[in-house]
Chains A and B, each alone.
Chain A
Amino acid sequence: MGLKLKIDDKEVESMEGETILDAAKKLGIEIPTLCHHEGLEPYGACRICSVEIEKNGRKRIVAACCYPAEDGLNVKTRSPRIDRIRRIIIELAAINVGGDLSGKFLELAAEYKADTSRFLQKVKVEPSKCILCGLCVRRCVEACWDSVIGFVGRGVNRRIVVYPENASICSTCDHCHGICPTGRITSIGPDPPFPSIDDVLAGRE
């Protein structure tokens, strides 16, 4: 069944089960993402893909990676309001990334003219270079069911750890390398990319 929607004033036909992000891709409109991966379930954590939708005369900001394409939907992917939201999200995420920007994150910061140091100056935390997008964790679960890495903690104390017990099931699938948007996981270097669960629980990382 075809659904007709408008993205940035261009008409596009989409199918049941597709998201706004999928539909935009068909039009060649790029919506930035940090936690999205085609092969994985939508996660909706980074919110950088926020777009404005209009439905029955009501405007709303939604995450394009999760919002299902609907008939008659009117989507705007760029506007001063959306750009401002994206800029602030990048600036907030930069608290985790720190000054050493690379990869996709660096490109986005430049495009949205983000001041990546202003919030870090306020909160003064040690940047971990990880924005907790969960791509590596989700790909790891997918690759070996019982993952080698995973999330622990909640809120600002949330982080990613390595489970030594499961080290043996880690094959060199390389699933977690290329997808890291901040360049925290590199294939060079002998050390695992994240501290072990024991170190984190003992406050040693």
Chain B
Amino acid sequence: MKRIDSPEDLEKLRRKLRSKKKTDKTTISVCVSTGCVALGSIKVLEAIKAELERQGLVETVNVKETGCLGFCEQGPRLSIHPKEICYFKVKPEDAQEIVSKTVIKGEVVERLLYKDPATGKVARRLDEIPFYRHQVRPLLANNERIDPKSINDYIALGGYEALAKALFKMTPEDVIEEIKRANLRGRGGGGFPTGIKWETTRKAPGHLKYVIVNCDEGDPGAFMDRSLMEGNPHSVLEGLIIGGYAIGAGEGFVYVREEYPLAAENITNAIRQAEEYGLLGENILGSGFNFKVRVHRGAGAFVSGESSALMNAIEGCIGEPRPKYVHTAVKGVWGRPSCLNNVKTWANIPLIILNGAEWFRKIGTEGSSGTAIFSLVGKVNNTGLVEVPMGITLRDLIYKIGGGIKDGKKFKAVQTGGPSGGFIPEQYLNLPVDFDELNRVGSMMGSGGMVVMDEDTCMVDAARFFIDFLLEESCGKCIPCREGLRVLSRILNDICEGKGVEEDVMIVEEIAETMRDASLCALGTTAANPVLTSLKYFRDEWDQHLKAKRCPAKACKALVNYYIEPEKCQACQLCRRECPTGAILGGVEQVHWIEQDKCVKCGSCYEACRFNAIVKLSGEPIPPPPPEGTKPVRRRGGR
């Protein structure tokens, strides 16, 4: 690769790449991000390649490996350009038909198109799918168009133009001013104004400064950062270089969590390519600005996502937080000013520089500009990554984009902000989603996890889940967090097992207050949020566990019994075969029956039954067994 020495050279390269692209060559792009790969997209990719080879089309058709489009539920996803036909749930066996029909004849393979379960309408293109129709995707859109391993793809789409603009047409102060005017707030969850943070680091004394990308996305239920890092690493890198220039940093770090090997691979590759082009390193684009970037891999610790802990880890020390009453923006890595931002914050920078602060402010709300990326998961019909303007209501997110609750169940709560956030009940569904509104109801934006829970989710159990998560992830340095979580976990486990007493609620509140006020870092100070919101909005469920020893959602194992309804049982043996303890009695042509003493409540029978004959009971007596030899009542239409 030839070094690019000026903005003019970059422009020349871009024109060259674009003109090459102009040819109407068909391109098949296959998603190879973690989600689709889990569903078998690599095999699809290989099958497509083999089929093209077989039909002698290797020269005429491009195959591209691209990043995540967000609709992971429907993967593996494949799109065919320039017609923009999008196929979902593609299997390797479909390769032949796709090539013969769509590539050669231009016909659509109807059964691979997305079909709206609500209306039955099929969609050829992405924007015809309800999941995408309500989204605005400045950050994620390019994931589909570029091969994350190719810097040329990124440059062809306008990549590094913002960097050239910043370096040659703006002073560092101009850049910071632009970011301030855009009112970009930290996408890691805190929502701190990015421009002000940059300015603090710029003005802090010392000539060695650092900029850091935080890709230690540990919140359970969130994978936005992973998708951006895997799908469009250059956008993050470009933002970081611009930030380095604005802040006056000579070195940047990218911290990637251990569980994201592909993200680490792609950003490492992106750094190498940018170095070869002279977009990183000495004298970037001939501007005289020097900047280098190093990738640090995490080793599996949620608390390392906290800024001071992450900086400790970069220094090679234990990834536990340090007291940071002097902000890390002033005293960070090796005691030097260090500006740390989330992946999405950095990825927003090139867009703001290129399109201007006004463009950015037009998206979103007064207090929170721009888009937010959520990972909409849990019990919704359409799960995946969604990018929406700030201020969209929870209802629109869950029902218009998410397609409502799975299996026609009833909505109970949505959990945002991961372990630091809280549960939001139905009464707040019309809440516009932005940093401030979520805080107001006791939750927070967090990095963007949005887990939808339905009537089958027990809110005490869900609170316990987060406490147990944090108990495992707390570094154990400070007493309120370490010991507070230990006691909270014990109490919540007791309640879920029907062993709770009413004073427990008081203890929970007492400890929650101390943790919030006195813990060392944000992991501890926010740890009680899930418990407190659960208590606040779902007190009745707590009382049911405490007083009636009953779990209304029938999710707490110790409080649930499985029972086979004799009228519905078809004596098909399916559940008997699945039962690991032999607790199910009843032979052929004999209604089945669960021996409660032997039952370990694993739920295998419940999952196996095709006749909905197995039900869960909680806090109610189990009816006596049917007389031995009871014959099943055959149902019409049954097997």
Contact = CB atoms under 8 A, between A and B. Distances in A.
Contact of B510 (A47, A88, A132, A154): A88
Contacts of B303: 154
Given A96-B483, A119-B483, A63 B323 contact: yes
A188 interface: no
B570 to A, nearest CB: 47
A5 to B, nearest CB: 14
Interface in B442-493: 471-480, 482-487, 490-491
Nearest to A43: B323
Interface in B479-515: 479-480, 482-487, 490-491, 507, 510-511, 513-514
Contact of A45 (B301, B479, B486): B479
Most central of B303, B476, B507 by chain A CB within 10 Å: B476
A88 B326 CA distance: 27
B323 A66 contact: yes
B497 to A, nearest CB: 14
Nearest to B521: A44
A180 B325 CA distance: 26
B323 A42 contact: yes
Given A61-B517, A154-B474, A95 B323 contact: no
B479 A155 contact: no
A88 B519 contact: no
A61 B485 CA distance: 20
A66 B519 CA distance: 13
A84 B601 CA distance: 42
B429 interface: no
Nearest to B514: A88
A155 B325 contact: no
B485 to A, nearest CB: 8
Interface in A70-122: 81, 84-85, 88-89, 92-93, 95-96, 119, 122
A93 B478 contact: no
Interface residues of A, number: 37
Given A45-B477, A155-B474, A66 B486 contact: no
B81 to A, nearest CB: 48
A87 B480 CA distance: 11
B514 A156 contact: no
B38 interface: no
Given A85-B518, A89-B518, A122-B487, A44 B479 contact: no
Given A44-B322, A122-B490, A122-B491, A95 B483 contact: yes
Interface in A112-165: 119, 122-125, 131-132, 151, 153-158
A31 interface: no
Nearest to A92: B483
Contact of B323 (A44, A81, A156): A44
Nearest to B510: A88
Contact of A47 (B471, B478, B490, B491): B478
A154 B476 contact: yes
Nearest to B511: A88
Contact of B471 (A131, A132, A156): A156
Contacts of A84: 510, 513-514
Most buried by A among B485, B507, B510, B514: B514
A75 B139 CA distance: 45
B486 A156 contact: yes
A96 B482 CA distance: 11
A61 B510 CA distance: 16
A67 interface: yes
B113 interface: no
A168 B325 CA distance: 39
Nearest to B504: A122
A119 to B, nearest CB: 5
A185 interface: no
Nearest to B480: A47
Nearest to A65: B323
Contacts of B323: 42-44, 63, 66-67
A17 B616 CA distance: 63
Contacts of A124: 490
Interface string B512-528: 01100111100000000
A154 B301 contact: yes
Nearest to A124: B490
Contacts of A46: 478-479
Contacts of B511: 88, 92
Nearest to B322: A44
A33 interface: no
Given A88-B510, A131-B479, A45 B487 contact: no
A198 to B, nearest CB: 21
B10 to A, nearest CB: 46
Contact of A89 (B318, B480, B486, B487): B480
A66 B483 contact: no
A123 B483 CA distance: 10
B325 A47 contact: no
B519 A47 contact: yes
B473 A155 contact: yes
Nearest to A44: B323
A46 B510 CA distance: 18
A92 B480 contact: yes
Contacts of A50: 517-518
A41 to B, nearest CB: 9
A195 interface: no
Nearest to A42: B323
Contacts of A95: 483, 486-487
Nearest to B320: A154
Nearest to A132: B476
B482 to A, nearest CB: 6
B487 A158 contact: no
Given A45-B478, A154-B301, A62 B520 contact: no
B490 A123 contact: yes
A88 B478 CA distance: 13
Contacts of A48: 479
Contacts of B487: 92, 95, 119, 122-123
Contacts of A81: 517
A32 interface: no
Given A45-B477, A96-B483, A62 B301 contact: no
Contacts of B507: 122
Contacts of B475: 154-155, 158
Interface string A14-48: 00000000000000000000000000001111111
A193 interface: no
A68 interface: yes
A155 B306 CA distance: 15
A89 B517 contact: no
B486 A47 contact: no
B524 to A, nearest CB: 9
Interface of A: 42-48, 50, 61-63, 66-68, 81, 84-85, 88-89, 92-93, 95-96, 119, 122-125, 131-132, 151, 153-158
29 contacts: A44-B478, A47-B479, A47-B519, A50-B518, A62-B325, A63-B518, A66-B325, A81-B517, A84-B510, A85-B514, A85-B517, A85-B518, A89-B480, A89-B518, A92-B483, A92-B514, A93-B479, A93-B483, A95-B487, A122-B491, A123-B490, A154-B301, A154-B303, A154-B476, A155-B472, A156-B476, A156-B482, A157-B476, A158-B482
Interface of B: 301, 303, 318, 320, 322-323, 325-326, 471-480, 482-487, 490-491, 507, 510-511, 513-514, 517-520
Given A45-B477, A85-B517, A125-B486, 10 more contacts: A50-B517, A63-B323, A63-B520, A84-B510, A89-B514, A119-B483, A156-B471, A156-B485, A156-B486, A157-B476
